[in-house]
A = this chain, B = another copy of it.
């Protein structure tokens, strides 16, 4: 056997990632396995290891693609010229929608995945930064006058918080007697946090 060259290395790479995404979409992250991916694209498991270091490597790349899609989705949902609280809510609601409609894929973004204790790949950090950047930009209006460092911190704090609400809601860890939507809770967070930050800023001037 051996030697088919039906596909280039790059093609196999892309096919594998697509197959992996389909598996995750259909059965959650538990449904993802190297053997299943290989079977789906019509190659042997061994071939996968010609193109990925290991399954973790494949997951990083899959997550990278998810971050790209998420970033684009956030941009699409942002009304032109929107800024401040309005923009923040649009971003947050788009984020919630993404998490709710593509739950498995979204969930993988923040799972351990780094089975090793090493740092994230730097290109992954950069993709994360692009997402946070949208929030930072939307905060620029409401927090005008804050130093850039505070602005940066505030955007990370706010977005990690939105993520936390989203996560616990989807994982059903919130112990709420129904009624509350993720959107309502997020709204409470954004309005509260923003009002508080503005007050504290003006108290200083």
Show the binding face of A for B, using Cβ within 8 Å: 28-30, 107, 109-112, 114-115, 119-120, 125, 128-129, 132, 152-154, 156-157, 160-165, 167-169, 171-176, 180, 184-185, 188-189, 191-197, 199-200
A173 lies within 8 A of B128 (CB): yes
Residues of B within 8 A of A191 (CB): 196, 200
Q: How many copies does the complex hold?
A: 2
**Per DSSP, are chain A's interface residues mostly helix, strand or loop, or mixed?**
helix
A121 CB to closest chain B CB, in angstroms? 11
Residues of B within 8 A of A161 (CB): 160-161, 164-165, 189
Given contacts A115-B30, A200-B191, contact A185 B168 (CB under 8 A): no
A64 CB to closest chain B CB, in angstroms? 13
Compute how far the CA of A193 lies from the CA of B162 in the bound complex, rounded to whole angstroms: 13
21 inter-chain pairs at a CB distance below 8 angstroms, sorted by A residue, are: A107-B112, A119-B172, A125-B175, A128-B175, A132-B174, A156-B180, A157-B185, A157-B192, A160-B164, A160-B169, A161-B161, A163-B164, A163-B168, A164-B165, A164-B167, A189-B193, A192-B192, A193-B196, A194-B196, A195-B196, A195-B197
